[in-house]
Structure 1
Amino acid sequence: MSGSDLDVLVPQPQVVDLAGQRLAISPLVLGELPAMLKAVQPFAQRLAGEPDWLALLSDHGDALLTALAIASRQPREWVDALALDDAITLAATVFEVNADFFVRRIAPKVGDLARRLNGRLAGLTPSPA
């Protein structure tokens, strides 16, 4: 088994220097998923492709900052104090390291749920007389 094969099985953390601190960002673990799912639920569909981090911050700032704190394993106060460029770097790194979680698991599930709910709501809407 080569080193790249092992990296697929056991992803290596991505190291990033932010606010005078070196962080090793690694994929989320099972115990972090409930809080992360709750945090990203308001904006999960907007994570496909290349997310517009400034728009997400504007529209869903509190949820995004909570998600960044969970994924970086840093206190929310630390995340809140980041300079904007550091926050964008952190968001991009977290997204890259956890892309499988966000793109393949979360965004499609949110889309499927929305379609099911829309179908149910359409069935509950009275038809015009």
Structure 2
Amino acid sequence: MNASDLDVMVPPAQELDLAGRCLSISPLVVGELPAMLKAVRPFAQQLAGDPDWLALLAEHGDALLSALALGSRQPREWVDALPLDEAIALAAAVFEVNADFFVHRVAPKIGTLAQSLSGRLAGPTPSPA
């Protein structure tokens, strides 16, 4: 296993200077996953490829800002006060560092679950007795 293989398995942290703070954005740990999954559920499928951060902010602003606070390990109030360009840089870093988790694990599961539920809901409905 070489260094690039290890970077794929455990991506290196990204250093960002935002709003007077030097942040180290690193992959989520197990204890952070439940809150992050809850935050990204409304927009998980939109994370594949090159997300439109402005559209995500417009459509899922509260959930996205919560996810950024969790992913950066910063208070939500601090994230809320970021200028737009810095918030987009933070979003890109948080989701890039955790891309394997979101794009390859979360988004497909949500899509599969939606299809499964859709199939069940479209099936025959029992008649009242």
Q: Does TM-score exceed 0.5, indicating one fold?
A: yes
Q: How does 1:1-129 map to 2 (within 5 A)?
A: 2-124=2-124
Q: Aligned partners of 2:10 and 2:35: how far apart in 1? A: 23
Q: Aligned partners of 2:8 and 2:44: how far apart in 1? A: 24
> Structure 1 pair 122/6, CA: closer, same or farther in 2 (3 Å)?
closer
Structure 1 counterpart SS, 2:11: coil
Deviations 1:28-77 (A, max 9, x none): 10000000000000111111111100000000000000000000000000
Question: How high is the TM-score relative to the length of structure 2?
Answer: 0.91
Q: Aligned partners of 2:46 and 2:2: how far apart in 1? A: 35
Q: Quote the offset at 1:9 in angstroms.
A: 4.5
Equivalences, count: 126
- What do you get for the CA RMSD once the two structures are aligned? 1.5
> Structure 1 pair 34/8, CA: closer, same or farther in 2 (3 Å)?
same
Query: Are 2:56 and 2:64, in contact at CA under 8 Å, matched by a contact in 1?
Result: yes
Q: Quote the offset at 1:3 in angstroms.
A: 3.7
Q: Quote the offset at 1:95 in angstroms.
A: 1.1
| Runs of 5+ consecutive residues of structure 2 not aligned to the other structure | none
Q: Aligned partners of 1:120 and 1:88: how far apart in 2? A: 38
Q: Quote the offset at 1:6 in angstroms.
A: 4.1
Give runs of ≥4 in structure 1 deviating > 4 Å: none
Structure 1 counterpart SS, 2:17: strand
| Runs of 5+ consecutive residues of structure 1 not aligned to the other structure | none
Structure 2 counterpart SS, 1:23: strand
